[in-house]
Amino acid sequence: MKIQIIAVGTIKENYIKDGIKFYLDKLKKIYDIEIVEIKEEEDPGTPASREKVLETEGERILYKIDRESFVIALAIEGKEVSTEEFASLVKKAFGMGYKKVVFVIGGSLGIWGKVKERADVNISFSKMTFPHQLTRLLLLEQIYYALL
């Protein structure tokens, strides 16, 4: 089983880096897992320019996704799932014969519509908005507990 996390932006805060390392170290003992970072564009401030930023980041994301992968996008408007539902979803994806499960975390502006369309499922961890850097840590923690 291969797990890939495609995330827009880099982690700057050490406390988040430490948490990510903690869960990656645990997961790498059992699973083939990698994080692919996509360059984050600056927010230009205008709605039209923001859509262009989403498109640019989205095209980079789509380029990294294999056709044979099961894709789960983390989107604020996605289906809100519990820890148990998340675990069931991940296990189901591997049970369906997919060799790779890809998780997508957008940047500060979210995820481009075409990426959400490509995803097999769009989920949300909460109705609250979290920084995308923190979402990466939360995702790893949920993957760890899902695959115990």
Q: Quick check: 103 and 135 in contact, CB under 8 A?
A: no
* Residue 127 assigned ligand-binding role: yes
Tell me if 125 is assigned to a ligand binding site.
yes
Ligand-binding annotation for 128, yes or no, is yes
Q: Calculate the alpha carbon distances from 131 to 1, 83, 114, 135 in Å.
A: 28, 19, 22, 6
Non-local CB neighbours of 136 within 8 Å, separated by 6+ positions = 5, 7, 11, 16, 20, 35, 105
Does the annotation place 74 within a ligand binding site? yes
Closest CA to 81 of 25, 126, 146: 126
Was 94 annotated as part of a binding site? Answer: no
Does residue 126 have a known ligand-binding role? Answer: yes
Annotated binding site for S-adenosyl-L-methionine: 74, 106, 125-130
Annotated binding site: 74, 106, 125-130
